[in-house]
Every structure is written in structure tokens, then in C-alpha cells.
Amino acid sequence: MKASRPESTLGLASAAMPPVLPVTFLRLGDMMRVTGLGRSTVYRLIANQNFPPPCRLGVRAVGWRSSDISQWSAARPVARR
């Protein structure tokens, strides 16, 4: 008689997990093109806590998570004429 082994839950757990998307960062120039904002405006909004702060990427490099910028953009009111 064969001993039955309990089925591994590893396969089931990984199947239930949502796919992990890679985090992408936007450097200042790219972020300015996406948002249409200027450098001074961006840093003023950050100081007033109205814009996502950048993440440190290195000693002299920062970038914004594209997901943070997308969420900020989606929360902006739509202009109406």
C-alpha cells in the first residue's frame, strides 16, 4: 500500500496570486512630459504634499513610480467648458 502524500499548496497559492508587474520609474524629464508640469511646479506641489514624492534611485538620481503618477493623474478633475 502506498502512503499518500498531502498535496502541496504551493501551486494553489501561486495560482491565486495576482501577477506581479515590474515597477517602472520616470525620471524628471519623462515625468514632466507625462504630466505637462514644469520642474518648479512639480517641486512646489511636492512641498505642499499635492504630488507624489520621488524615490531615491541612487546617490544623485531620483525617479517617480509610474503607478504613483498614474494615480495622481486619475485623481485630477476633468476640465469642462
pLDDT digits (tens, 9 = 90+) for 13-59: 556 777 777 889 999 999 999 999 999 999 999 999 999 999 999 99
The sheet that has 62-65: what strands, in order across it?
A: 25-26, 62-65, 55-56
pLDDT value for 10: 54
Its pTM stands at 0.69
Say what the pLDDT of residue 81 is: 76
Q: Check residue 27 and give its pLDDT.
A: 96
